[in-house]
Amino acid sequence: MFARLFVMTAFSLVLLGGEAAKSSAQDNARLFAPDNTPRRRSVCLNFQTGLSTSSASCDLFYGLLGINQNFDWLQSHPSSRSVIKDLGAYSWETIPQVPVVPALPKLQPGEQRHVTIDVSGADGADGAPGLNGDGTRNPPPARSKPKHDGIPKIDPMFLKAVVGHMYVAHVVTEGSDFYALFRVDDLAEGSCAISWKVVASPKE
């Protein structure tokens, strides 16, 4: 199982035409963040087979990223080409058209996918130029790098889990290429209840 990733910060943190999905979920389950997982409970999901005890076969993880002690983050498998997209607030009775979601590029032999997470706070304002003894002012020192704007930059493999939101997953692994819709139905005490179903791939 992947280790949890802790990040501390002072900040809180178009649909395209496609195949319409059916109006009911295929199944539902509750995922637990690792620190809230009793033995024999899974923290990840395979959309085709359900809850899994093997991270190698998982399509969706919950609770592995923490920002300000908030672990309500979803992620795809880091070694796959899968992509997850937040579609916004929907119920299974009012779901949108399934959009085309391009998979990540295939890695070349020996190449590794890099994950970027930057939650640096915004830099302060530049200080006033110093005053010399003769009354002249020194110019402010030149910056060696751009200022941080304070906006968190989270790799797209992570998505915030939001109650009532529907998500589309384009799952691409060595042996699979399919689409699934899932909805976050509840968040409670380090757990995430979701409902989901595998859907037809949209036409590009």
Each residue's pLDDT, cut to its tens digit, for the chain (204 residues) gives 455 554 433 332 233 333 444 446 779 989 888 765 555 456 689 999 888 877 778 899 998 888 777 788 999 888 888 999 999 999 999 988 999 999 988 877 776 666 666 656 545 555 555 666 676 776 666 665 666 555 656 766 789 999 999 999 999 988 889 999 999 999 998 889 999 999 999 986
d(CA 174, CA 35): 30
Residue 126 pLDDT: 58
Residue 107 pLDDT: 75
Residue 175 pLDDT: 85
d(CA 153, CA 191): 24
Q: What residue segments make up the domains of the chain, in order of their start?
A: 5-103+154-199
d(CA 197, CA 19): 14
* Nearest CA among 47, 45, 61 for reference residue 157: 61
Contact 61, 2 (CB under 8 A): yes
